[in-house]
A and B are shown apart, each in its own frame.
Chain A
Amino acid sequence: MSDASATAASVSDGAPAPMRTRLDRLLEAVLPPLVALLVSIVAGDLLILAVGQSPGAVYRLMLEGTWGNAYGFGQVLYKTTTLVCTGLAVAVGLRAGLFNIGAEGQLAAGGLGAALAGLALPASTSGLVAVPLCTIAAMCAGGAVGFVPGVLRAKWGAHEVITTIMLNFIVLALLSWMLSTGLRVPETLHTQAVHAGALPRLSAWWSGFHGSAANGSIAIVLFAALLADVYLFRTRGGFELRAVGLQPDASENAGIDVGRTWIRALTISGALAGLGGINFVLGYEHYYEEGFATGAGFLGIAVALVGRSNPFGVVLAALFFATLSQGGLAINALVPKQMVDALQGVVILAMAASVPEVRRLLASTRRSVR
């Protein structure tokens, strides 16, 4: 493929105007999620019609139950918080060229970390001290879990797709064991109540949110998203991380320690996922419960993909998937809420299929226009 590939990646001098390339990059970023949205609407229509309902009515009910009332919106915000964390985790990993499939285990570990820190502190500890401490504990726990596949890849070349999946099961089993041997309240699957570090519900500020689980952790998490954006695109560390993700050989040749960058990326990734633990543990139930993280890892992958591994996009995508999830509950009277589970798979598949296809179509239209 030498002749063609040597020349295929370059164009003659006097290349087309840069403007077109930027437009292309924008389209490549935005079109696939739109295509995925379209495909999922069509799939949703099919599933709704199968029950004999009208898609219009169902979607309207979904919107009313989520953004249409304060309680629903509060629930959306609650779910968004967790998904932003796992989404950021996967996104940071992807930017470094790594696939973190173990966000669920990292999230669960983060939750237990926050709970243990909270239990270790006296109940009267000021929130200003306890919340940061518990948050750091959550991120350390998640980061530790992310660290392992990073090292396995850097030192032994073990592919992180497999090791993060395997570690996911291992960590969840480990946490289950830890819980069952003394940490839990008997006859339950959760720890004792954690008083220190409790975060207030959003309903404390606005009574409209009354009853919903939305809490102060969303502020911390959104701030983390901002920090992630700054890190990736404005710092040297983020520069190296992205360089390694895009072209590890050139980065190595330029003196960047690729292995260490991988370890750093997966540790940060795990820490971001672990951060999500404070949403449930500090802000909602105020204890660690087995299974609170179920599904958040895979959804985090969906969020990162639809959000194009961009922190801002991740927040938007998290809102979308949270809306979908909460909306499922709202429409349960008309359509089985399980429809939402199916749609999640449809969205991810549509995203995965449309990214390369959009790129190909854009390239061919660009050529025929020239």
Chain B
Amino acid sequence: MTHPASGAPAVRMTHIAKRFGDCQALRDASLEVMPGEIHALVGENGAGKSTMMRILAGIHAPDAGTVEVFGRDVTGWTAAQAIDASVGMVHQHFMLVPTLTIAENVILGREPVRGLAIDMARAQREVEEAAARSGFRMNVHRYVRELSVGEQQRVEILKTLVRGARVLVLDEPTAVLSPPEVEELWRVLRALRDDGGTIILITHKLDEVTEISETITVMRAGRTVARFPTAGTSPAAIARAMVGRDVVLAGDVPHDHARSAVAAPVAAPALEVRNLVVAGERRARAVDDVTFAVAPGEILGIAGVEGNGQSALIEAIVGLRRAQSGEIRIAGTDVTSMSLREREARGLAHIPEDRQRRGLVLDFSVADNLILGRQRAYEHGGVLDRVRILADARAAIALADIRPPDPTLPVRALSGGNQQKIVIARALAREIVVLIAAQPTRGVDVGAIELIHARLRAARDAGTGILLVSAELSEILALSDRVAVMYGGRIVAIVPRAEASEASLGPLMTGATGS
């Protein structure tokens, strides 16, 4: 690919609009990336960053607007054309076929042939050469399902390099990496940039943005709202652009320090986990000898990069997965061998991290979802008491400010924030001892986030013990009374909120012990 005179952008997208079904993902979005720079595309969940890049990569065609790559109008091109034109994309959820080898995954779509058959020897050579150029080596005959997350990401990058990518797009690449792997990735990206490549990084992590990028474009609700050089800006300014108003960042929260004193529990802890071990798929142990307790009336937040055992921990506590060894107690009662339903009967409630799959039956009405799990309480001789179900539903809707306030509406028609309100309302509808809240504000619009946080705080004030697991450190710091850090399946620290900050927790989240 020849580059036009310097000064011309490598990528220019103007006035892009795109709709999926009922959702207007992009309204009027633009992007301009200069050649040879690392450009960060930032925004909250749902701002449209991924969609924008998928349009660039040819996976979707825009409804309106133009896309230019190195001066050429390529609006609406296909993925195959994008790849041929040296635009490569590494997706957030890896696009690798687990049952094929590394080599097969990399050559898929452009297989070298000898006669009618695939020339495997040549394929192997190509892939190994590309790997060497980026500074790593791999046995290309390994099956992808056996690889670690970092290795899989490297295969994704190889796929783009082997196709001669000059513009590399990475979608939330560090979401599943441990800090050393992140450093490794930065090294590779800088090497590629120095080699003449252009890199676009989609992220919502502000510290990464300031560390690696040279220019930042900010998107909000499907529009581009700001573009400025990284030097000379601050996380606060970026955050303000992302959200549209002054945002209180984690470090600024004036915390009620009186609460964070860890008092000796008067009654039995709401939740107690002792020496819990849960078997994992990749790692030998997803949860490796974990011990902690949640007192009634406190929020214990577990901070950590996703993929360090949090999901396995929650599933084991809730009863969706069996623990290999260890103990789980709710209000003093040993529930380790009890089913999920029995644990719920003893005061456990769960806000699942994937509400559309685990939390709601989307085609059921709001009222039906509110009683899901509690349907036996509304039963008389097998038949359900519809009158009482609707009445209770209306009350819950009013209390939680669920909109629109129609209990017969299918939940599918509600926004993410209102759907989550239903999940939380259901969890808090009965007398509970401990609430497990996993990513409670993921995919929720900012207004609803504050309402949800308020409900969690209210539950805590009423005496419920809350175990909060979130990938957003700011959320952990905003809500928790004590903060734990999970890394590699272990709890590496538990500190009172007063001692917790991004600075102090960061090293712990990377696995650095002490110092």
Contacts and interface: CB of A to CB of B under 8 A. Distances in A.
A256 B20 CA distance: 33
Nearest to B426: A254
Nearest to B386: A234
A7 B54 CA distance: 15
B372 A18 contact: no
A54 interface: no
Contacts of A367: 19, 21-22
B220 interface: no
Given A3-B50, A235-B384, A253-B352, A247 B360 contact: yes
Interface residues of B, number: 62
A252 B340 contact: yes
A246 B361 contact: yes
Interface in B355-407: 356-364, 368, 372-373, 375-376, 378-379, 382-384, 386, 403-404, 406
Contacts of B340: 252-253, 255
Contacts of B412: 9
Contact of B45 (A3, A234, A235, A247): A3
Given A2-B50, A14-B403, A255-B373, 16 more contacts: A2-B93, A7-B25, A8-B21, A8-B25, A10-B416, A11-B414, A13-B403, A230-B383, A236-B383, A239-B384, A246-B361, A246-B364, A247-B357, A249-B357, A253-B340, A253-B350
Contacts of A10: 23, 414-416, 419
Contacts, number: 141
B416 A18 contact: no
Contacts of A18: 404, 406, 408-409, 413
A4 interface: yes
A123 interface: no
B411 to A, nearest CB: 10
Interface of B: 19-23, 25, 45-51, 54, 92-93, 172, 318, 320, 339-341, 344, 350, 352, 354, 356-364, 368, 372-373, 375-376, 378-379, 382-384, 386, 403-404, 406, 408-410, 412-419, 443, 445
A251 B375 contact: no
B374 to A, nearest CB: 8
Contact of A3 (B25, B357, B410, B445): B25
A243 interface: yes
B376 A236 contact: yes
Given A4-B20, A251-B372, A9 B50 contact: no
Contact of B362 (A21, A235, A247, A254): A247
A254 B416 contact: no
B415 A13 contact: yes
Contact of A250 (B49, B360, B382, B413): B360
Given A243-B361, A253-B352, A2 B92 contact: yes
Interface in A206-262: 230, 234-237, 239-240, 242-243, 246-247, 249-257
Contacts of B19: 367
Given A3-B51, A8-B20, A9-B356, A235 B382 contact: yes
16 contacts: A10-B414, A10-B419, A21-B410, A234-B386, A235-B383, A240-B375, A243-B368, A247-B362, A250-B360, A251-B361, A253-B318, A253-B350, A253-B358, A254-B373, A255-B373, A367-B21
Contacts of A242: 364
Interface string A18-32: 100100010000000
Instruction: Name, among B172, B358, B379, the residue most crowded by chain A CB atoms within 10 Å (CB to CB).
Output: B358
Contacts of B363: 246-247
Contacts of B413: 11, 15, 18, 21
Nearest to B43: A3
A250 B361 contact: yes
A199 B419 CA distance: 53
B454 to A, nearest CB: 17
A9 B416 CA distance: 8
Contacts of B362: 9, 246-247
